[in-house]
Each structure stands twice: as structure tokens, then as C-alpha cells.
Amino acid sequence: MKGLTQPAFFDRLQICPRCGYDLGATDVSLPCPECGQVNGLCVQLAGVPRHLGGAVHRRVLRIVVVIGAVLLAQAVLIVWAFSLRTALLLLVMFVLAVVWLMVSSPRERGGTERFLIVAGALVRLPAKADGGVLTDSLRVEIDAGDTVQLRVIGTQWAGLVIARADSSKKFEAGFACADAEVARVGEMIAAVVGGGVRVVW
């Protein structure tokens, strides 16, 4: 994809990926003074995340909410004419269902992103940095026992999967990487995440 950078390896963080604290003047051997995030090695990738499916009950509720919205829009005047209480009750139930879906749904961002792999986590950042300020991030924890898997997809594209010990996927994405560089990226990730996490390529 156009505009995506190749993988990069840094020996220190400039901005804390957990809280946004400016680490530029902080000693690299010290953690972030605000949240304790380890300041050190990191790997930056650029690519497109795969949206892993949500729970079945959430999908069913989304369908019910959409159908309910259509029916409510069609019948609101008729229901209102017969019973004001029923119309208000239906409206309140619809609004509560929409609010619950918005609040309880996992945050997702569409399009290209930067993936910053640091000790203990993969941080999803917007593709373009906003003047060096960490404005919005999503964090995927990488725990002991997890597996980070890399695979070649094409000459300029690779796949990344972070899986739990039971093989269920926490995160999956494609990222820009020359096929000859996948092994080097795997070595860089292994150096960053440390022991307890298996890295395969």
C-alpha cells in the first residue's frame, strides 16, 4: 500500500505509548514517571488491522436495533396516536440499546495504522502522528505464554498475529515489509517482548 513505512527499530521511546508523557528528556534506563511503562526498545510497523468478530449476542442486538429503528421511524406517529406512554417507552428502550452498544463495543479504528511493539504490549496508533503528540491509542497486551507469529504474504507485505496460549487470536494485521526482511523483524520483536513470549516466523 502506498505511503506505509517499512518496519523500524528504535532503542528508546519519545512518547509514552500508555499515557502520552514526553520521554524525550527522560533517561532511557528509567520507566515513564507517570505510568511506569518501560522505556526502551520498540519496533514500529505500519499496516492494516483485521477486525476480529465480536460476540454473537452483540451482532444479534445490532440487527434488532437496526430493524427496531426502521420500524420505530415508520410507526412512531401511529403508536403516538394510540398511546403516548408506549411511544415513549419504545423510544427510551431504543436509545438505551444504542447507548449500550456504543459503550460496550470494543474501540476500533478503520484504515491504516502504526503498530508500536513495546515491552508487554502492541500499541495501535493513527497512521499519521499529530505533531508528535499521542492523541489516540489502542493497546493490545502481550502476556507471558502468548505467541507472536509473522508470515510472508507477498513481496512487500507480511502478516502479524498475536495469539493466546489456547491459540485464540488477540490481534491480527497485515503490515508493509519486504519478504526478505521478515526474519529480521521477527528478531527485533523477540528482542523487544523478551522471554515468556514465543515469536515465530
More confident residue, 118 or 110: 118
Burial (Cβ within 10 Å: 0-12, 13-18, ≥19) of residue 65:
middle
Q: What angle do CA 113, 117, 120 make, to 5 degrees?
A: 130
Same domain, 141 and 191: yes
pTM: 0.66
* Mean pLDDT value across residues 125-142: 67
Structural domain range at position 144? 8-50+111-200
Same domain, 169 and 147: yes
3-state secondary structure 94-130: HHHHHHHHHHHCCCCCCCCEEEEEECCEEEEEECCCE
Would you state the pLDDT for residue 126? 77
Domain boundary at 104, 122, 142, which?
104
pLDDT band at 189 (very low <50, low <70, confident <90, very high): very high
Would you state the pLDDT for residue 52? 59
Same domain, 128 and 192: yes
Q: Is the pLDDT of residue 85 over 60?
A: yes
CATH number at residue 130: 2.30.29.30
Q: Is the pLDDT of residue 104 over 90?
A: no
Nine-digit cell string for 99: 447507548
Q: Is residue 174 part of a domain?
A: yes
pLDDT band at 137 (very low <50, low <70, confident <90, very high): low
Least confident of 48-57, 78-87, 113-122, 164-173: 48-57
Same domain, 98 and 196: no
Same domain, 98 and 161: no
Tell me the residue type at 24: G
Q: Is the pLDDT of residue 169 over 60?
A: yes
Share of residues in the chain with pLDDT > 90 (%): 25
Strands (DSSP E) along the chain, which ranges?
A: 8-10, 42-49, 113-118, 121-126, 138-141, 147-154, 157-163, 169-176, 198-200
Q: How far apart are CA 127 and CA 111, in angstroms?
A: 8
pLDDT tens across 10-27, in order? 887 777 777 777 877 777
